[in-house]
């Protein structure tokens, strides 16, 4: 067999990631459009599965899908001061359309709070109009300087939920309910353990009162912010004059939330489970759960092997790789790189013994099982693989989470960590939620990932920057 | 009840359409973004249903979904001469990004043949790489001067299929196979009869060898091009140097196709079936198929009525409208305007008699049926409504299709037709496929909609413009 086209993780984690993405038919850089990628068939199929999981949960909670324009008048962005400051450097601007210079340029949405604020102000009059619970599946553009496929691209696909409420408590409930949905999909479907928490004020969404996130740890120990849910307070309500008459007949500004996950999740998925042989996909997300590879040397074996392969594949809802002119070895390699959870081999000897060989992608273990038992075993293996991937990721997260009680300790722990070399840790330390502290950590390229909602450590302690008492340790890490 | 917010069709068809869209919670103009709309909850849910129907059929035929960048280098458009001529006037151009003037501007995709051509040239080397069968669900922007919600908006949502083949015959097969998929979804799911045909050369897609379309007739007699499938020949293959080595070892340019339907279909759906009371949706596409409206005056009736309403709704997979503070009349009106196929009324008298009242949206007929029989009857009514809507639209198409044997006749038939006044016809006449003939028809604002694949008329005859012999009549109409 040819040398593996995949750089080992140990050698260069960043190069490994790029190789896995390419070899797994997940995406390819679109070098002619700055920082963009083409999402290829396997990658898009994973995205469709993620969409289905998320969309069903949003709808079950009463959200409706809608669609707002891609283009936003430039002036809209400026209505919320923090928002424009946060997004202005990343905007793509349309200045010419229909052959003419535009009087007012449009920006391509980097996110849709502003245009939605405009429509909320038209739609909301009374407390009876609330809550509004909406979501849209859309593309957005943010002109990033350093890009990486799936993790940070200038255009990406995402969902953005937008809700309006009559009071703050209900908005906060919504923000946390969605954070729970994100955590559930990450853990139960993607097999990717996450830490739910609130972002520091320095790291919150531009225009939010408070941002919440789920943070996960990649195999190189770097953190990935996998989803965010924002308590927007009345900031956009005030900027866009979104008011309602309350039950007492007084006008109030609405309380809003917004929340999103994107194709970035796929990057997290890849860096959570894949190995030096290529992509590993958790069975619940895998577009193809099983492939039967028929093996035969002689023409007279072919018919019987193929017939049995199709019969078994049908029973399992699996695929048969009956491509001509490809060796079984090339086929195994093909499906391995694409992360198919289970590959089954079936040859003339298996036909005679009424057995079949089942190979599990993550462990590489092979087992010979009776054909009569294959359906049950296939389901069991998929189920076990889903659980084992989660447990392995969880164990890795725990093994690479450490505590520190001084800035020096944090610096020492993280000093040699890079996306290429790995070695990253989640460092739990007491840090005050003050931009001064975030700035201090930035000096060694680390950030407060979030302040966990549930304290699993030792409670209150003194901030390692200011010495002031804070109520729990926060997660510090280098991150994507 | 308040005066209907919907203008009658007879009075002003265009105003009626706008009212139905707004009152049906389908869309709303986004006046602050030229020619754009917000797709609202009911409209987006219909789009999701259409997507599901189409997507399943594409995948069953071996197509895979992928995603290409929104932005295309301006120079790409210029590589195919006809293509740039067709699209240049409609482009939205990004000239500034990340705070800087771009060296080469990007255009927002009006369609993706060019960027896909670029990638095909990287991906395709050998006949073994063919065919490539891809589709993407995406937004596109075309700066149109005159816009109408769903029918023509500057941004719209669509799917665009792109395939590459090793020979022309196979590409043409693909083009026609997809045209059949479009016709099937239009007729069987949308209950909208269509005429399959080839566009005249003057009306083909900019860059295609041949374009095929499905054309449908709206209630005002205007034509709507509801979907197109293009035989691109080797035009983009040559422009983007997409070649493959054939089985004989020679290099050839690939043969490509592209095909698309968009949110425009929803406009066609509305103008096919809706009435002066609002939206009418064919049951197979309706996001909500049935709603039970509970009726009670006294508080002591409420519990029992609601309990029975929920029990029956659950059996039917229907919704219960148990909103407080809304009269039953207001609720009927609400669901009627939103096109729900069946509304069921349930009050204390029905509880006593163990009956329920079932009202069908399109005919307005009410029937009292035993609760024990409601599930079966509900399914029957939905089924009948689906068929009746198609048959009514088909009868209308036939009743408004006429033949003409001279330009004068065509002009006379179409002279008073407008989108507002209606009175449109499909005029079947012999016309040569020559831009001179198209230009002549344009003088009275009519176009050749297509040249039907199946001739249901009298075969060959003399072109009404040039007098030359042509093999069948074409469809001439005023159109959207």
pLDDT tens for each residue of B350-392? 999 999 999 999 999 999 999 999 999 999 999 999 999 999 9
Note whether B375 and B254 are same-domain residues: no
Determine the pLDDT at residue A1. Answer: 45
What is the tens place of the pLDDT at every residue in B48-107? 999 999 999 999 999 999 999 999 999 999 998 898 999 999 999 999 999 999 999 999
A45 in contact with B, Cβ within 8 Å = yes
User: What CATH number has the domain bearing residue B258?
Assistant: 3.30.930.10
> What's the confidence (pLDDT) of residue A3?
61
B197 and B175 Cβ atoms separated by less than 8 Å: no
Q: Is residue A5 part of a domain?
A: no
Answer yes or no: is B166 within a domain: yes
Is some CB atom of chain A closer than 8 A to the CB atom of B96?
A: yes
A139 touching chain B per CB within 8 A? yes
C-alpha A232/C-alpha A84 separation (Å) is: 15
Pair (A93, A140) in one structural domain:
yes
Task: Give the closest residue to B137 by CA, choosing from B36, B262, B264, B226.
Answer: B262
A159 in a structural domain: yes
Q: Pick from A58, A63, A66 the residue to mutate for testing the B interface (most B CBs within 10 Å).
A: A66
Count of domains observed in chain B: 3
Map tokens 């709808």 to a residue: A59
Q: Which of B24, B27, B31, B32 to mutate to test the interface with A (most CBs of A within 10 A)?
A: B32
How do strand B243-245 and strand B251-253 relate by DSSP bridges?
Answer: antiparallel
Of A69, A89, A157, the CB nearest to B30: A69
Q: What's the rounded Cα separation, in Å, for the pair A300 and A351?
A: 13
Is B92's Cβ below 8 Å from some Cβ in A?
yes
Cα(A217)–Cα(A166) distance, rounded to whole angstroms? 37
State whether B256 and B295 are in the same domain: no
User: Across the interface, which of A64, A69, A95 has its CB nearest the CB of B36?
Assistant: A69
Q: Is residue A284 part of a domain?
A: no
Q: What is the DSSP string of B79-109?
A: TSHHHHHHHGGG-EEEEEETTEEEEEEEEEP
- Of A387, A415, A445, which residue sits at a domain end? A387
Does pLDDT of B137 surpass 50? yes
Residue B3 has pLDDT above 70, yes or no: no
End-to-end CA distance of chain A: 35
* CB within 8 Å: B89 and A99: yes
In a domain, B355, yes or no: yes
> How high is the pLDDT of residue B423?
96
List the single residue in B40, B115, B325 with the smallest CB-CB distance to A66. Answer: B40
Structural domain for A468, as ranges: 401-477
Residues of A in contact with B138 (CB under 8 A): 139
Grouping H, G, I as helix, E, B as strand and the rest as coil, residue B126 is strand
Is the Cβ pair B143, A97 closer than 8 Å? yes
On chain B, the residues whose CB falls within 8 A of the CB of A98 are: 89-92, 143, 145
Give the residue-averaged pLDDT of B330-349: 97
What B467-470 contacts at long range (C-beta under 8 Å, 24+ apart), as own/partner pairs, is B468/B432, B470/B430, B470/B431, B470/B432, B470/B433
Residue B64 three-state SS: strand
Q: Enumerate the β-bridge partners of residue A198.
A: A212, A451
Domain check: are B123 and B232 in the same one? yes
**Would you say B19 and B39 are in contact if contact means Cβ atoms under 8 Å apart?**
no
Q: How many angstroms separate the CA of residue A429 from the nearest CA in chain B?
A: 35
The domain boundary residue, chosen from A387, A414, A430: A387
Specify whether A17 is located in the same domain as A115: yes
**Residues with Cβ < 8 Å from A202, sequence gap 6 or more?**
A435, A438, A439, A448
Residue after which a domain boundary falls, among B242, B273, B304? B273
A410 lies in a domain?
yes
Of B66, B128, B139, the CB nearest to A39: B66
Closest residue on chain B to A156 (Cα): B69
pLDDT in tens, B428-442: 999 999 999 999 999
Check which CATH number belongs to the domain holding A464 and give it: 3.30.110.30
Same domain, B346 and B242: no
- A95 to chain B, any CB pair closer than 8 A? The answer is yes
Residues 6+ apart with CB under 8 A from A301: A347, A348
Same domain (yes/no): B173, B34 = yes
B3 domain residue, yes or no:
no
User: How many other C-beta atoms are found inside a 10 Å radius of the C-beta of residue A284?
Assistant: 19
Domain co-membership, B419 together with B344: no
Work out the number of other CB atoms within 10 angstroms of the CB of residue A449.
27
Check CB contact of A158 with chain B, cutoff 8 Å: no
Task: Out of B39, B67, B115, name the one closest to residue A67 (CB).
Answer: B39
The pLDDT of residue B299 is: 87
- Nearby residues of A398 by Cβ (< 8 Å), 6 or more positions away: none
Q: Per DSSP, what are the bridge partners of residue B345?
A: B293, B357
* Domain match, B294 and B267 both: no
The dihedral through the CA atoms of A32, A36, A38, A42 has a sign that is positive
CA pair distance A265, A149, nearest whole angstrom? 11
Residue A131 preceded by cis peptide, ω within 30: yes
Q: Alpha-carbon distance A386 to A389, whole Å?
A: 5
To which H or E segment does residue A140 belong?
Answer: strand A132-141
Quickly tell me which residue has 């092997």 as its tokens: A305
CA angle, residues B272, B276, B282, in degrees to nearest 5: 40
Tell me whether A32 touches chain B (CB under 8 Å). yes
B406 and B381 belong to one structural domain: no
> What is the total residue count of chain B?
480
| For B141, nearest residue in chain A (alpha carbons) | A70
Closest CA relative to residue A393, chosen from A192, A153, A204: A192
- Is B333 part of any domain? yes
3-state secondary structure of B318: coil
What percent of chain B clears pLDDT 90, i.e. is strictly above it?
97
Cα(B274)–Cα(B267) distance, rounded to whole angstroms?
A: 11
| Residue A212 phi, psi dihedral angles, 5° rounding | -115, 150
Q: H/E element holding B366?
A: strand B366-370
Domain holding B342: CATH number? 3.40.50.800
Residue range B258-285: mean pLDDT, rounded: 98
Separation CA A476–CA B463 (nearest Å): 78
Q: In terms of domains, do A309 and A429 share one?
A: no
Over range B225-253, report the average pLDDT. 97
Mean pLDDT of all residues belonging to chain B: 97
Q: Does residue A130 sit in the same domain as residue A213?
A: yes
> pLDDT 10s digit of each residue in chain A, 480 long?
456 789 999 999 999 999 999 999 999 999 999 999 999 999 999 999 999 999 999 999 999 999 999 999 999 999 988 989 999 999 999 999 999 999 999 999 999 999 999 999 999 999 999 999 999 999 999 999 999 999 999 999 999 999 999 999 999 999 999 999 999 999 999 999 999 999 999 999 999 999 999 999 999 999 999 999 999 999 999 999 999 999 999 999 999 999 999 999 999 999 999 999 999 999 999 999 999 999 998 888 999 999 999 999 999 999 999 998 899 999 999 999 999 999 999 999 999 999 999 999 999 999 999 999 999 999 999 999 999 999 999 999 999 999 999 999 999 999 999 999 999 999 999 999 999 999 999 999 999 999 999 999 999 999 999 999 999 999 999 999
**CB of B56 within 8 Å of any CB in chain A?**
no
For A15, other C-beta atoms within 10 Å of its C-beta total 14
Q: pLDDT tens digits, residue range A41-86? A: 999 999 999 999 999 999 999 999 999 999 999 999 999 889 899 9
């Amino acid at each position: 067999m040819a040398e593996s086209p995949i750089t080992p993780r140990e050698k260069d984690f960043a190069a490994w990631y790029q190789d896995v993405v390419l070899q797994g038919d997940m995406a390819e850089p679109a070098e002619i459009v700055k920082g963009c990628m083409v999402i290829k068939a396997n990658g898009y199929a994973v995205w469709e599965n993620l969409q289905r999981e998320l969309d069903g949960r949003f709808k079950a909670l009463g959200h409706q899908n809608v669609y707002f324009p891609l283009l936003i008048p430039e002036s809209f962005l400026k209505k919320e001061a923090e928002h424009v400051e946060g997004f202005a450097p990343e905007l793509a601007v349309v200045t010419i359309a229909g052959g003419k210079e535009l009087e007012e340029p449009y920006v391509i949405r980097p996110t849709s709070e502003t245009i939605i604020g405009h429509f909320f102000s038209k739609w909301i009059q009374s407390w009876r109009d609330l809550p509004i619970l909406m979501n849209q599946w859309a593309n957005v553009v943010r002109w990033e300087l350093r890009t990486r496929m799936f993790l940070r691209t200038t255009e990406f696909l995402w969902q953005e939920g937008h809700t309006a409420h009559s009071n703050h408590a209900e908005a906060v409930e919504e923000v946390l309910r969605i954070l729970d949905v994100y955590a559930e999909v990450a853990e139960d479907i993607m097999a990717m353990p996450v830490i739910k928490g609130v972002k520091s004020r320095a790291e919150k969404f531009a225009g939010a009162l408070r941002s919440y996130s789920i943070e996960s740890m990649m195999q190189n120990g770097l953190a990935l912010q996998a989803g965010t849910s924002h308590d927007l307070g009345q900031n956009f309500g005030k900027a866009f004059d979104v008011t309602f008459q309350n039950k007492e007949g007084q006008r109030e500004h609405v309380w809003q939330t917004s929340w999103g996950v994107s194709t970035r999740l796929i990057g997290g998925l890849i860096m959570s489970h894949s190995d030096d042989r290529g992509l590993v996909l958790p069975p619940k997300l895998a577009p193809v759960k099983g492939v039967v590879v028929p093996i035969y040397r002689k023409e007279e074996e072919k018919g019987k092997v193929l017939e049995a392969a199709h019969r078994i594949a049908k029973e399992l809802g699996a695929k048969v790789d009956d491509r001509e002119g490809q060796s079984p070895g090339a086929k195994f390699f093909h499906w391995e790189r694409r992360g198919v959870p289970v590959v089954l081999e079936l040859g003339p000897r298996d036909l005679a013994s009424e057995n079949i060989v089942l190979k599990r992608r993550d462990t590489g273990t092979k087992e010979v099982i009776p054909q009569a038992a294959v359906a049950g075993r296939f389901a069991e293996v998929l189920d076990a693989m889903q659980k084992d991937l989660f447990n392995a990721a969880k164990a890795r997260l725990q093994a690479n989470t450490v505590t520190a009680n001084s800035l020096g300790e944090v610096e020492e722990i993280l000093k040699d960590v890079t996306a290429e070399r790995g070695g990253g840790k989640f460092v739990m330390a007491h840090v005050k939620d003050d931009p001064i502290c975030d700035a201090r950590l930035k000096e060694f390229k680390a950030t407060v990932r979030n302040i966990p909602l549930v304290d699993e450590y030792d409670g209150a302690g003194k901030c390692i920057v200011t010495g002031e008492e804070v109520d729990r340790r926060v997660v510090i890490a280098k991150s994507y």
